[in-house]
Amino acid sequence: MTGFLGQALIYIVPFLLVLTFIVTIHELGHFLVARAFGVKIDRFSIGFGKTIVSRTDKRGVEWRIAWLPLGGYVKFSGDLDASSVPDAEGLAELKSRVIAEHGPGGERDYFHFKPVWQRALIVAAGPFANFALALVLLTILFSVIGEQRVAPRVVRVDQGTPAAAAGFQPRDLITAINGRPMTEATDVTETIILSANDRLTFTVERGDRTLELVATPVRVLEDNPISGRAWVARTGMQLGAMQRSDYSYRRLNPFEAVGKGADTMVSTVTTTFRYLGRIFVGKESGDMLNGPLGIAKAAGGVTKQAVSYEAPPAILALNLLLTGLQFAAIISIGMGIVNLLPIPVLDGGHLMFYGYEAVARRPVPARVQEVGYRVGLALLAGLMLFATWNDLQKLSLFKFLGGLA
């Protein structure tokens, strides 16, 4: 029993705290922009299910905390369905009911009767609140930790690997890949990971010579203590610092930290979409996609890693806080990306419908919405099942079905 409680504290609690925090910020984005446009709001809920505590403010908004901490939601007055995009018939019915209750003009306070550009901004505010949160968290991290750079210097080359076949040697300095400059070891690693089975031309400085070496990354099975077991593209060389000039560190002022945070966020978004694109064209298997179990494992992994050092409690607490902020920033970026996908049940799907309405001057027909939402639910359910299957394989379950081994 004690062991179970310990595992729950390490894996489940950090996951729920991070998820609820990020989803609350997402919904707060919707809420604040909706309120700025004068939209009537019924409820803002943190969590789902039965209410633990609630209060209603002077504007009639019920603020509540529910018992199931898996996110939250904001409910606009007059929502007819989960889509928040009723068709012409539904709008006419809602309008007549609102006028009957509040008189002519009362419908102007309702989300569905706001101009389409306002509705689009309200919907987009959720994902962009996630990006804003990530930028704030990354700015804090870079302000506290500063900027560390490790040059892409080859430290070790494993025998029988693509790097060895290409002729890499220890002390080689990688300066470019396919003509794109490389200044940090992380740049090289990220490029290799997203280039499985692609020929890469490395520009290398070896002493006073400049060479071009060609290697093709291959997938190898790795067991990462944080992300779990997965096939990852590698070339078989380890990068790191071998001399003093290979490592640099500097503290960042607030403006520099914001810029570094923005660069990191843009790089994460770009890398994510590149990975998704490679999945669609069949160049990636998608086994690095994580579902709830994978995120929970990662949350537990970073928690254990943060407190694994021998240090005073205050230092461990600070390290845990900074690690948690970094993890929350990454998850927040991921949530923003997912919600902008053009799937009808997500914010991106709403924006797609509003785009049609802006051009056609009328809402999407009810039949099209119904089909769109069925397809969207199927796509989302399929994505979740696929990600959960990945999670189970990374946790070394179901090996008998031919999973990762």
Q: Catalytic amino acids?
A: 27
Rg (the chain; Cα; Å): 25
* CA–CA separation, 174 and 181 (whole Å): 9
**Which residue, among 296, 292, 278, 298, has the nearest Cα to 387 in the 3D structure?**
292
Beta strands 237-239 and 154-157 are: antiparallel
The kind and range of the H/E element at 154 are strand 154-157
**Torsion of the alpha carbons at 308, 288, 271 and 349, rounded to the nearest 10:** -120
Whole-number Å distance between alpha carbons of 118 and 125 = 10
HEC per residue, 174-226: EEEECCEECCCHHHHHHHHHCCCCCCEEEEEEECCEEEEEEECCEEEEEEECC
Question: Distance of CA 385 to CAs 23, 72, 374, Å?
Answer: 21, 22, 16
112/84 Cα distance (integer angstroms)? 7
Bridge partners, residue 323, by sequence:
none
Measure the CA angle with vertex 14, ends 11 and 18; round to 5°: 135
